[in-house]
Amino acid sequence: MDRSGDPAALASLIGHQLTEHSGGLYRRLADAIGALIGSAELPVGARLPAERPLAEALAISRSTVVAAYDELRARGLVESRRGSGTTVAPAASKGRSRADKRMPTGYGESLFHRIAHGPSEVIAMTYAVDPGIPELAAEVEDLARTELPLLLQGVGYHPRGLQVLRERIADHFAESGLPTTPDEIVVTSGAHQAIALVTQMYLRTGAAVVIEQPSWPGCFDLFGAAGGRVVGVPLDDAGVRPDLLAVAFREHQPAMLFVMPTFHNPTGRLMSSARRRQVAELAARHGVVVVEDNAYSAWDPAGPDVPAPLAAYAPKDAEVLTIGSVSKAVWGGLRIGWIRAPRPLAERLARHKALADLGSPVIEQALTARLLPRLTELTAARATMATVRKQLMGQLLTKRLPEWVWEEPVGGSALWIRLPDTDARIFAQVALRHGVEVVAGRAMDPTGEHDDHLRVPFSYSAEVMSEAVDRLASAWRELRRHGPADVVPEIV
């Protein structure tokens, strides 16, 4: 979908490139826009935003945007007509590969672009990741010696997942307070695919899906691609608000409710056991399918107890699907997740899984099966370290950015910070030019209710966090003292 006329959307797509092209700021802006021209974001005939709104979205001066558009006109990439604004010129498509037109668009695509782009001198705080747990290498070596020969004798296609892994996942659920059998489990390639499969099964064009507000950016892309309408319901300290949830159910008659009860992303809140019961009963009463994503399940042993999954509190006739993963707890590269669902639904999901990829990688499944019985033990040290890093990040921000406000999260890996009287999208552009990239609240709540929020992960070393906060503080001082930079174009 062409969103080129939206200055905030275009700023999100090109902001990162401003730090990577060489030359003056106006030329870097021209290069960044030129790199998008001819793609799905800026196809031939697409209208570019007016100079002033784009300048505000990028937190730069209007004169810089004017100079950049002049440069693009000189290159023959855009043309301007009175009353029609600036559009991509027909000649701009020459030499473009058809593959350039396949880039997905949505609220989360700029975040995934950062992952695909790879490392740079910019401190990318757009996603929270840790290296693999230390025990992982030894487990891989032992797996290769003892289990790999037998695994290679099979066909390698297991749409529902390896039997041993489904048994271990069922045991894992039982230990958490949710009795489960292996035939209620479908193994997926991470939690992301699990959500995609559920979305494919339940959502149809025009159907509503209720989510927490704010929520994980990727869900907007997944639900939108299926033609779904997203309806947000605010949170309180105990989780999604049941009074407003009931209103959303009555008014929108949604096909699905998507929640993150255990260490919600981005707020880090933990839904109480009483609230889980309320939500499950309310959904059952309205006939709404509940999808709970508990991918952020690692927790500090010294912290509060984590309630059983929401499905454990649901009435017998409720339809609740529970998603889990080892990617956050063990290693992002171990792309193994799962869905727990009533047996008939699990069978339907397995058919969708078979159509998607015939089954997740067998060796990774076997590795996960070895890790699951010791998952709490293996991740305890990492979870404890996350608490230490959370406290350090809080101390750094309190000292260097005392105006910023946040509530300490119970779990998860990031702080959800409110910036006083500031659009976080504009600040994010200034911060990017200071060498640190953060996610503005609009990516996690397109309604605009959290435009003054930032998500700032704390899953980094003390040195990186200290440097990142220094850069954020420098960007904040610039924005508060001077507003958007007034950059005068170079004379060439």
pLDDT in tens, 379-431: 888 888 899 999 999 999 999 999 999 999 999 899 999 999 999 999 998 99
What does the H/E/C string look like for 397-421?
HHHHCCCCEECCCCCCCEEEEECCC
Mean pLDDT of 46-57: 88
Whole-number pLDDT of residue 120:
55
Mean pLDDT of 157-177: 96
Q: What digits encode the pLDDT tens for the residues 129-143? A: 788 898 999 999 999
Gap between the Cα atoms of 122 and 16, Å rounded: 9
Whole-number pLDDT of residue 16:
61
**Ranges assigned E (strand) in 35-166:** 78-81, 85-88, 123-124
Residue 118 pLDDT grade (very low, low, confident, very high; cuts 50, 70, 90): very low
Tell me: pLDDT of 111 over 60. no
Q: What digits encode the pLDDT tens for the residues 276-328? A: 999 999 999 999 999 999 988 776 766 788 999 999 999 998 999 999 999 88
SS3 content of the chain, % helix, strand, coil (to 5): 50, 15, 40
pTM attached to this predicted model = 0.82
323 sits in which H/E element? strand 320-325
Gap between the Cα atoms of 154 and 158, Å rounded: 10
Whole-number pLDDT of residue 486:
42
Residue 369 pLDDT grade (very low, low, confident, very high; cuts 50, 70, 90): very high
Q: Is the peptide bond preceding residue 266 cis, with omega within 30 degrees of 0? A: yes
Q: What is the DSSP letter of 280?
A: H
Whole-number pLDDT of residue 26:
83
Mean pLDDT of 434-463: 94
Tell me: pLDDT of 98 over 80. no
Which domains, from first to last, does the chain contain? 7-101 (1.10.10.10), 123-132+377-482 (3.90.1150.10), 135-376 (3.40.640.10)
Whole-number pLDDT of residue 36:
86
Least-confidence region, from 3-7, 106-110, 195-199, 359-363: 106-110
Tell me: pLDDT of 107 over 50. no
Q: Which of 26-40, 73-87, 295-309, 456-470 has the highest mean predicted lDDT (pLDDT)?
A: 456-470
Q: What digits encode the pLDDT tens for the residues 9-50? A: 788 777 666 655 556 788 888 888 888 887 777 888 889 999
Whole-number pLDDT of residue 398:
98
For residue 122, give both structure tokens: 């910019």
